């Protein structure tokens, strides 16, 4: 199980660290792009869902199984936003962060769906 989902576990651990580390750990990052954090949320959850799909591609039969797999990153995002609010490490939970997470998950599912409709899918 762990061997089969090694990348999923690795990305999940990275997301856990980035989401729960104290805010002052990231004050040194010199990026002043408006809403850049939403892009980071989108990218993290796009990557997580893409890796989940990739690592489970042999057992996926239809879109319903993809939606079941998508429950993990969806609830992970909600849980982390709640924990950011509760743990008070200078972080705050945000519904907009969760919307960016969900958008990344949906984008990954759409990319899989479009690829699965091709005559020769890239992911087999």
Which pairs count as long-range contacts for 67-70, CB under 8 Å and 24+ apart, including other chains?
A: 67/109, 70/105, 70/109
Residue 108 DSSP symbol: H
Q: What is the pLDDT of residue 95?
A: 94
**Whole-angstrom Cα distance, residue 72 to residue 19?**
16
**Whole-angstrom Cα distance, residue 47 to residue 69?**
14
pLDDT tens digits, one per residue of 17-66: 999 888 776 666 677 788 888 999 999 999 999 999 999 988 888 889 99
Q: What is the pLDDT of residue 85?
A: 87
Q: Is 103 helix (H, G, I), strand (E, B) or coil?
A: helix
Contact 93, 104 (CB under 8 A): no
Contact 123, 53 (CB under 8 A): yes
What percent of the chain lies above the pLDDT cut of 90? 58
Mean pLDDT lowest among 37-51, 52-66, 68-82, 94-108? 52-66
8, pLDDT greater than 90: yes
Q: What is the pLDDT of residue 21?
A: 86
Residue 105 structure tokens? 């998950």
């Amino acid at each position: 199980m762990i061997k089969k989902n090694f990348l999923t576990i690795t990305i999940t651990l990275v997301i856990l660290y980035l989401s729960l580390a104290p805010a002052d750990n990231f004050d040194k990052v010199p990026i002043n792009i408006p809403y850049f954090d939403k892009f980071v949320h989108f990218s993290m959850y796009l990557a997580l869902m893409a890796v989940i799909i990739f690592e489970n591609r042999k057992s996926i039969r239809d879109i319903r199984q993809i939606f079941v797999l998508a429950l993990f990153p969806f609830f992970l995002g909600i849980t982390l936003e709640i924990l950011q609010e509760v743990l008070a490490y200078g972080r705050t939970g945000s519904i907009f962060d969760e919307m960016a997470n969900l958008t990344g998950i949906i984008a990954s599912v759409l990319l899989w769906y479009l690829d699965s409709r091709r005559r020769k899918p890239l992911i087999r």
